[in-house]
Structure 1
Amino acid sequence: MVSCSRKKDKFINRNFHAVTAEFNALYNGYNALQQGRNSLNESYFDNYWDVLPIERMQIFEDIVLPGQSKNDNFTRAEEKAIKAIQKHSITVEGKEKNPQMDEAYLLLGKARYFDQRFIPALEAFNYILYKYPASDKINQAKIWREKTNIRLDNDDLAIKNLKRLLRQEDLEGQDLADATAILAQGYLNTKIVDTAITQLEIAAQATKSSDERGRYRFIQGQLYNQLGYKDSANIVFDKVIELNRKTPRIYMISAYLEKIKNFDFENGNKLETTELLTELEENRENRPFLDKIYHQIGEFKRKNQLDSMAVVYYNKSLRTNSQDRILKARNYEILGDMNFDKSIYRTAGEYYDSTMTNLVLNSKPYRVIKRKRDNLEDVIYYEAIAQVNDSILNLVNLTETERLTYFETLITKLKEKAEQEKEKAEAEARSANNGLATVNNKIGSQANRNGAPNQAAVFYFYNPTTVAYGKNEFVKIWGSRPLEDNWRWSNKAKTGGANTTITNNDVLASATEDEKFDPQFYISKIPSNEKEIDSISKERNYAYYQLGLIYKEKFKEYGLAKDKLQSLLKSNPEERLILPLKYNLYKIYELLGENDEALITKNEIIKSYPESRYANILEHPELVSDRDENSPESLYEALYIQHENQEYLDVISKSEDYISRFDGEPIVPKFELLKATASGRLYGYEAYKEAISTLAINYANTDEGKQAQNIQKSLLPKIASSKFTEENDSIVSNHKVVFKFTDQESEQILGFQSTLDTVLKSIKYYDLKSSVDVYNPNTTLVVVHGLKNAQVAKTFDQLLTKENKKKIKAPYFAVSSANYQIIQIHKNLDSYLNIDNN
């Protein structure tokens, strides 16, 4: 009992509390700390696509409230450290007599550090430096303090303190390794790479841990690669490989792969490298790393122009179900790029979609891939339309005998597939029945010894075999259905072209068992109406025209563009497409160096369309600039100015003319949007809604079409109501005074506004302005703005002097800004005047 006292500086007291603290609280605390570090290491996923951090530790951005912790093990370690301090500290005359207290504070700081509470951790380490300057743990405390400073982004301070520590103290062993390793991290953070490599070399030689040595060496190799010193990098990677099983295998495998990345394809021994990759692939111990190995084999094959084999290995890497999302993204991106280079744009787009699902949303790599994918949107859309409509038109052009033969072949394949599915389902049913009969070696229908049913055998979802059987039954009955509302309906509208039912699986889904194997059922689905066939043909032709322009302008694939446009020219296109089609073919022939074809096409355009803009350009290229006054861009700009000047009738008329004239060119959706806006301003909400709907449907894949879709979704619902708001004198709001003029009085408007502006300037206490607003083709409104009160607006004439009243004799009415907006949107001025007292 005497030895338990913490107020006496005696041998027995000091040693009792030292031993109790060391082998009780601190022992358990360090065990908890180690468990926490192990869990951190297990959950941490190194990104080998970038230079590894010196210390394996995941920094979380989540905010933790006081009293909370990211890891219970670190909380327990901290509690043990605090318990050791509270119960075993012996402070006599201001000095600590228990030699284990510095260890307790070090444990406290480490627990807080790994729990990512860096400010409290820094306090614990600083307390050791302040309170225990003679401690044998003083150097460790200094090192851990600088580790904490680096986590707090105080890199320069940490480097300064560590350099001083290394200069003043003769560190060795693990202390030297820790100090130089964290100093290397400071240099990496400040982009001083060469000095970081030197410090890592010291750390790798001094450390007692083979795990750390392998990591430090591997980081050295990465840094040499970053500096472009591939030979030095390979030497360091060889040192990692020599460690073999002394260090985690991931370092050895990654070192091999990094060496292969550094392979000299001009002078290197390709056979030796191929054998090495095969050996890595076939080694059973490397199975956890096959995703990386397959990817690197794919890279090696691709750089050797063995593209088909490269694709095989990229797909093998994807099939390993790798947890490395960056690796998966790279595999998908490379496959997408390979398809893009082969002009297989639709498949490339699908690969880019998969790439984005494995990247961080809105990160720079994500935005780069999204930009690539967006560029493919139009070509995928029009290729789908062209493919579907071509298949339909091919069926339309077949004779009855040919159609019958075609569908009989199709039905034979369907029967074979149905038979295979039936056999598979029966096998799975037998397996499922066996699974239901015995689960965990018990009879499913039997009760357990206590008489209670066997729940594991009864509950459906506890048996994976029965679940698989159920899934197959669903597919057998319903087919492959997306997860969406009304999933059972097979006749929902599809986008991407009219009449897609012949090539769509919905035909099979809607067919009865008898119809599914009846050729006449499918033949009956082929369009026979001339108007319907003509519509399909026109849609196909327009898709071909757009594809020709996209391949020519966006992707510079002039061969593909020529094929599409020549195919269109042979398909009896509409008259409106022939001239721009031939002009674009002429430009493509020039770009491909096919001068004879270009000359023939040029002469055809000049001869057949002598008055056209294209003929003028071809005959007088020296007189026509890119932005001449008759170019679509110049005409659009002039029309936009007219729109700003409220010349809406003229804008609508000219837009229709230009849409017809430039049909098929990229400028057309802009004219459509301008026309829709002008129609809304002149004729109101319903006209605007109809025009926007037409634009959203007909030009869905253009920027203007997407803007129209956004207007439909966001703006139109907000302005749909034509109900007027209450105008209350007690509510301070903007009001307007409105003078109404008919089209017969149009010549008086400018003179009236000029007089009105003069009068408004003479009115005191109000800053009033006027404007002329077109209401509809027959009515124009002159509006006074700047009034804040309904009563003042209604008695506007009382603000005028007798002299000014003689100048402004026209009748007026007052309206709130909100109601004026409704009047202009819905063109319901008469309704407003009928319910108002104006």
Structure 2
Amino acid sequence: MKKNFYKYLSIFAILFVVSCSTRKDAFLNRSFHSVTAKYNILYNGQVAFDQGIQELYATYKDDYWKRLPIERLEVSELAIPGVEISGGNSSAAFEKSEEKAVKAVQKHSMNISGKEKNKQIDDAFLLLGKSRYYSQRFVPALEAFNYIILNYPNADLINETKIWQAKSYLRLQNEELALITLQRILQREALVDDKKIIESVHTAAAMVYTVMDSTPQVVHHLKQATLTDYDKEQTARNTFILGQIYREQNHIDSSNVAFQKVIDMKRVPYRYRIHAEIEIAKNLSNDTDTEVLIATLNKLIADRENRPYLDELHYHTGLVHQKLGRIDLAEEHFVASVHAIGAQQFQQGLSYEALGNIQFDKANYVEAGSYYDSVLQIPQDRNTKRIRRLDRKRKSLDEVIYFESIANVTDSILGVVAMSKEEQVIYFQEYIDWLKAEEAAAQQQIENTGFGSLNDANNDFGGDGKWYFYNSQIVGFGQQEFYQVWGNRPLEDNWRLSDKSVLIPGDENVNNLEVLAIEDAKKYDLETYLERIPTDKSEIDSIGSVRNEAYYKLGLIYKEQFKQFDIASYNFEDLLSFNPEEKYILPTKFHLYQIYLELNPIKADKFKTDIVSNYPESKYTQLILNPDELIDEDDASSPENIYKNVYYAYQEGNFEEVITKSEEAIIKYKDQEIVPKFELLRAYAIGKRDGVAAFREALVYVAFKYSNTEEGKKATEVIETINKL
């Protein structure tokens, strides 16, 4: 028995040694190398390749606000013809699959008399090419595919290889050659029953036509690709892209049909189905059954499986409510979108913008500006049309936000000054009590969670001796609370200020107004607050002057820039009640006269009588009595002729004279329509005299102060041009 065992073992050893040869074209040799390559090396290589694909897809993030790319591969800009890059999508898995493919060729290739006898070697080269393709090494990948086509023209994988060859051509920016290759495959009658190849070649053709910007051909090939339904995920993606293209073409019904097909598909990634629901919401139109849509969106929001998509679901639900005029409900959903856990920054930006637009429409410009600030602080391409438009809109709010803050501060200070000593003590003591209550509530919240004391950095929560800020849950609570209060703020000095631009030039009184923060150590000390109350009459008068100017400018801004006559009238009426300086009284009454012509003719008559009776020689009286009378163009002292003379001085290069006379005219013709012209001309003269930096600063002032005029818009355009230099 033992002898027979050794006998058979010897025979097996001899056969094994003989079959190891790659130079003998024998059945045993071919079988050995084919089986070993397929079930050992190539099997492990394919496993590694599949792992690499899973890793690639797991890290790839689709931007559903744009048309999806047909292939889920983010190609680096450095992946250009003839250039090898490091990194890219290369991973250890793709490197291992490439290594296994090379090993299969080196160990088991049987190239005898110029012909390959091992049928697995073409599979090895295909795996090699695909591994290189996904590593964004397209030139070496093309070499591998070309080798198969040249040496294995009758291989079973020849059509698949040619498709990969065409995709490599496409990535190497040779769309014409890629298209020729794919068209040749499509002309073969043998493809009729090969669903995999039919789907792959039509999908690749759609990729080529996408680059060539031939949308009708893209639609045709995507539709053909979806007929086979071989690759469930790619079919869902192709159908989804069809829905997006139909929307671009304004074929909303066809778009909804395509997205509904995706929703009805089985065994496809859930991300396609949920985003198809969202895409149908994006197709909101006058023909949409909004109540059905809202019911669908609310059901999706209530589904716990959709928590990663709550930012998008709430946003689109808010848009539907906004379309129906349910502004309060819309705001609730936009806020929920902003604060959804895991909300994407771009989506947060859209929700902040929607909230800002709502506040803007309500004339709550300070709140609107805060929301717009949150949008603009999100990292994104600043050169898009949407962001440029939003940036201009935000800048138009700078003045109103600035003067509202000045009005609020001065009102508070003067309100405290007007109190008796006893009232001041009660006022600040109530504030101190409120501070203590707030801190106690925060401390209690921390203790209720079981994570220790605010003041005990070594407190043990849960027995591990870690400080409570090391707990991810508490940190998460804090982050959400911070975003609710402050929005997105960069990590920098003075982060509380949403706009750190310089104060508006010329407002010297405002620049001198200073409000000092109270140190933490003294925030509960009553005397600290009391001793800061202004008592000097000149100081109080100065604060009053600042307040009066703020109210006057707010009235002008609301009246001229935003056409909010109600709000403008409140500011002007309040200003008159403050017993302001003489320089404000007549202009304020005139502006109220113009406002009440629109709102209340009886009040308009009252102000008309006041101005005409008490200021008969003023220009305002002339404007009231003769509103249609044109200024004599031949009058050398007319604003128009003054402007012409200053402009001629600019053309002659007398920039100092231009600046001086423009400043005189700005003061002389205050509140008249010609003032922005002088301001812009002055800015140009400053630029000629002092250089680009001074020019830009002067333009910024014109753009801010006169944003709704032609001169303000021109200043904005020039600023954008300067910024690109």
- Bucket of the pairwise TM-score, normalised by the shorter protein: 0.7 to 0.9
In 2, distance between residues paired with 1:42 and 1:29?
20
Structure 1, 538-547 or 65-74: larger mean CA deviation: 65-74
1:25/1:80 contact within 8 Å kept: yes
Question: 1:549 corresponds to which residue?
Answer: 556
Q: 1:671–1:182: structure 2 CA closer, same or farther, 3 Å change rule?
A: closer
Give 2:388's aligned residue: 367
Give the direction of change, closer, same or farther, for the CA distance of 1:461–1:313 in structure 2 (3 Å limit). Answer: closer
Match of 2:539 in 1: 532
8 Å CA contact 2:222–2:239 kept in 1: the answer is: yes
* Distance (Å, rounded) in 1 between the aligned partners of 2:110 and 2:381: 55
> Is 1:134–2:134 an aligned residue pair?
no
Counterparts of 2:679 and 2:317 in 1: how far apart (Å)? 48
Q: Does 1:507 align with 2:523?
A: no
1:611 Cα deviation after fit: 5.9
| Secondary structure in 2 matching 1:54 | coil
Q: Which residue number in structure 2 is paired with residue 54 of structure 1?
A: 70
Conserved? CA contact 2:346–2:378, under 8 Å? yes
TM-score (norm 1): 0.68
- The one-letter code sitting in structure 1 at the alignment partner of 2:294 is T
Q: Structure 1's 356 and 634: CA in aligned 2 closer, same or farther, altered over 3 A?
A: farther
Query: Contact 1:146–1:162 at 8 Å: present in 2 too?
Result: yes
In the TM superposition, residue 605 of structure 1 has moved relative to its aligned partner by: 5.4
Q: 1:226 to 1:640 in 2, by over 3 A?
A: closer
CA distance, structure 1, for counterparts of residue 48 and residue 608 of structure 2: 84
Aligned partner of 2:325 in structure 1 is 305
1:232 shift after superposition: 2.8
- The answer as to whether partners of 1:221 and 1:234 remain within 8 angstroms in 2 is yes
1:574-613 residue pairs with structure 2 within 5 A? 574-589=581-596, 592=598, 601=607
- AA matched with 1:174: K
Maintained 8 Å contact 2:452/2:460: no
Q: 1:631 to 1:75 in 2, by over 3 A?
A: farther
For residues 154 and 92 of structure 1, the distance between their equivalents in structure 2, rounded to whole angstroms, comes to: 35
Tell me how far 1:166 sits from its aligned partner: 1.3
Alignment of 1:385 with 2:402, yes or no, is no
Cα displacement string for residues 223-280 of structure 1 (whole angstroms, at most 9, x for unaligned residues): 2333333333333333222224x1111222122223344456567371x433322321
The question of 1:329 aligning with 2:349 is answered yes
Structure-2 separation of matches of 1:390 and 1:593: 27
Matched, 1:275 2:295: yes
Equivalent residues in 2 for 1:226-305, closer than 5 Å = 226-244=248-266, 246-262=267-283, 268=289, 270=291, 272-305=292-325
Deviation of residue 341 (structure 1)?
Answer: 0.8
**Corresponding position of 2:96:** 76
CA separation in 1, counterparts of 2:26 and 2:320?
A: 72
Q: What is the CA deviation profile of residues 76-104 of structure 1, one whole-angstrom value per residue up to 9, with x for unaligned ones?
A: 32233233333333333333333222222
| Paired residues of 1:659 and 1:671 also in contact (CA < 8 A) | no
Which of 363, 371, 375 is the equivalent residue of 1:355?
A: 375
Identify the residue that residue 116 of structure 1 maps to in structure 2: 136
Q: How does 1:808-827 map to 2 (within 5 A)?
A: none
Does the C-alpha gap of structure 1 residues 653 and 305 become closer, same or farther in structure 2, counting only changes over 3 Å?
closer
* Match of residue 41, structure 1, among 54, 57, 66: 57
The question of 1:210 aligning with 2:232 is answered yes
Cα 1:274–1:366 shift into 2, 3 Å: closer
CA distance in 1, matches of 2:172, 2:435: 66
| Structure 1 residue aligned with 2:5 | none
CA contact (8 A) 2:457 2:467 kept: no
Secondary structure of the equivalent of 1:623?
Answer: coil
In structure 1, the partner of 2:437 is 416
Letter in 2 for 1:258: E
User: Which residue does the alignment assign to 2:717?
Assistant: none
Q: Relative to structure 1, is the Cα distance of residues 317 and 659 closer, same or farther in structure 2, using a 3 angstrom cutoff?
A: closer
SS in 2 for 1:206: coil
Give the superposition deviation at 1:170. Answer: 2.9
> What is the SS of the residue equivalent to 1:507?
coil
3-state SS, counterpart of residue 61 of structure 1:
coil
Q: Distance in 1 between matches of 2:327 and 2:406?
A: 30
Structure 1 residue 196 and structure 2 residue 218: aligned? yes
- Structure 2 counterpart of 1:166: 186
C-alpha distance 116-66 of structure 1, shift in aligned 2 (>3 A): closer
**Residue in structure 2 matched with residue 802 of structure 1 by the alignment:** none
SS at match of 1:59: coil
CA contact (8 A) 2:451 2:461 kept: no
> Is 2:397 the counterpart of 1:376?
yes
Q: Does 1:178 align with 2:178?
A: no
Taking the aligned partners of 1:625 and 1:44, their CA distance within structure 2 comes to: 70
Q: Distance in 2 between matches of 1:582 and 1:142?
A: 82
Match of 1:394 among 411, 415, 423: 415
Shift in Å at residue 495 of structure 1? 7.0
Aligned to 1:30: 46
After TM superposition, give the deviation of residue 39 of structure 1 in Å.
1.1
Q: Which amino acid aligns with 1:395?
A: V
Tell me the distance in 1 between the aligned counterparts of 2:250 and 2:687. Answer: 58
C-alpha distance in 1 between matches for 2:71 and 2:698:
57
**Rounded Cα–Cα distance in structure 1 between residues aligned with 2:100 and 2:314:** 47
Q: CA deviation at 1:575?
A: 3.3
- Deviation readout 1:6-30 (Å, 9 max, x if unpaired): 3443333333333333233322322
TM-superposed deviation, 1:468: 7.1
What residue number does 1:658 align with?
665
Secondary structure at the aligned position of 2:187 is classed as helix
Structure 1 residues 670 and 565: CA distance shift in structure 2, 3 A: farther
Find the counterpart in structure 1 of residue 118 from structure 2: 98
Closer, same or farther: CA 467–360 of 1 in aligned 2, 3 Å: closer
Deviation at 1:597, TM superposition (A): 5.2
In the alignment, residue 551 of structure 2 is paired with which amino acid? Answer: Y
- Greater Cα offset, 358-367 or 532-541: 358-367
Which residue of structure 2 aligns with residue 780 of structure 1?
A: none
Q: Which moved more, 1:660-669 or 1:322-331?
A: 660-669
- Offset of 1:52 from its aligned partner? 1.7
Give how far 1:378 is off. 1.7
**Cα separation, 2, equivalents of 1:18 and 1:239:** 44
Q: What is the distance in 2 between the residues matched to 1:331 and 1:92? A: 67
* Contact 1:280–1:286, Cα closer than 8 Å, also in 2: yes
**Partner residue in 2 for 1:814:** none
- How much has 1:584 moved relative to structure 2? 4.2
How far is 1:176 from its partner?
A: 1.0
Describe the shift of the 1:628–1:165 C-alpha distance in structure 2 as closer, same or farther (beyond 3 A).
Answer: farther
In structure 1, stretches of 5+ residues that fail to align are 445-456, 476-480, 488-493, 682-688, 706-838
CA contact (8 A) 2:446 2:453 kept: no
Match of 1:148 among 168, 179, 190: 168
Q: Which whole-Å CA distance do the structure 2 matches of 1:700 and 1:623 have between them?
A: 28
1:677–1:91 CA distance, 2 compared to 1 (3 A):
closer
Amino acid paired to 1:549: L
CA distance in 2, matches of 1:485, 1:371: 25
Which residue number corresponds to residue 572 of structure 1? Answer: 579
Shift in alpha-carbon separation, 1:387–1:676, aligned structure 2, 3 A:
same
Give the CA deviation at 1:486.
11
- 1:381-416 deviation per Cα after TM superposition (whole angstroms, max 9, x unaligned): 111111211222222333445444433443443343
Asked whether the 8 Å contact 2:337–2:343 carries over to 1, the reply is no
Distance 1:400 1:253 in 2: 64
1:318 deviates by 1.8
- Give CA deviations for 1:597-631 in whole Å, capped at 9, x if unaligned: 55665666566666665556563744338998656
CA distance in 2, matches of 1:104, 1:523: 85
**CA-atom RMSD, angstroms?**
4.5
Match of 2:486 in 1: none
